[in-house]
Amino acid sequence: MALAEAGARGRLLRWPRVLLFGDSITEYSFQENGWGAYLADRLVRKCDVVNRGISGYNTRWAKLILPRLITESTSADSIVAITIFFGANDSALKDLNPKQHVPLEEYAANLKSMIQYLKSVDITEDRIILITPPPLQESAWEKACLAKGDKLNRSNATTGQYAQACVQVAKDCGTDVLDLWTLMQKNQDFSSYLSDGLHLSPKGSSFLAAQLWSRLENKVSALPSLLPYWRDVDHTNPEASLL
């Protein structure tokens, strides 16, 4: 059978998608031992995990990009879940990092704006998971800043205010939320969760993946495996199994 004929007979295979939208902590999540790679491995044959992390970005910029990533006509119906993971840059101290800093009230408003946009393209609240920024290990991050000729430009207490705002937005909007800032500090020495005081170490990535899976599993549990197991393919008539 010609490939064109097979394509005409078979239904188009469309993988559902889990979209990861965030800053560098999301962008780096497909690195070795990354939390995004873990999810992709768990969900292979069920859906694609799509990384849309953009290093250095804040919610002010993210809300402008989101409508260019997802539109009702092209992609929204295939998204089974989306994570929105911003705040590590928004919470940068204004005096020391004015380019990335976003005021707390605007940060909350931007998150709400993104949720409202997703709802406008029929991605309902139950498919949205907000993730707060992780805690900041100030001494380690200060070393990273000094190595670049900068001063310490974030604080854990300020990051915590943004995390609380993220949790409140989730309550107000009816979405899931993963309060990473609080959960990681239940173990008082959270430094092992971070590679440089800000970004996740392999241990932190594993922690996030496990916490996120517990919130994501119910959203994807009903998804079937795409295409039959190879032993179930009729080898004498594969078209009957695969088209």
**Does residue 101 carry a catalytic annotation?**
no
Buried b (16+ CB within 10 A) or exposed e, 71-85: eeeeebeebbbbbbb
> Which of these is catalytic: 29, 101, 195, 199?
199
Spell out the residues 6+ positions from residue 66 whose beta carbon is closer than 8 angstroms to its own: 21, 114, 117, 118
Q: Does the annotation count 24 as an active-site position?
A: yes
Residue 140 tokens read as 């380690």
Query: Using CA atoms, how far apart are residues 180 and 163, in angstroms rounded to an integer?
Result: 8
Q: Where are the alpha helices (DSSP H) in 90-191?
A: 104-120, 138-147, 156-173, 180-184
- Of the listed 113, 191, 192, 196, which one is catalytic? 196
Tell me the C-alpha distance between 16 and 172, whole Å. 28
User: Distance between CA atoms of 193 and 163, rounded to whole angstroms?
Assistant: 17
Cα→Cα distances 173→91, 119, 162, 166, 167, Å: 21, 10, 16, 11, 10
CB within 8 Å of 236: residues ≥ 6 apart: none
> At 180, which amino acid appears?
L
Mode of pairing for the β-strands spanning 17-22 and 48-53: parallel
- Pick the catalytic residue: 24, 75, 191, 201? 24
Active-site residue list: 24, 196, 199
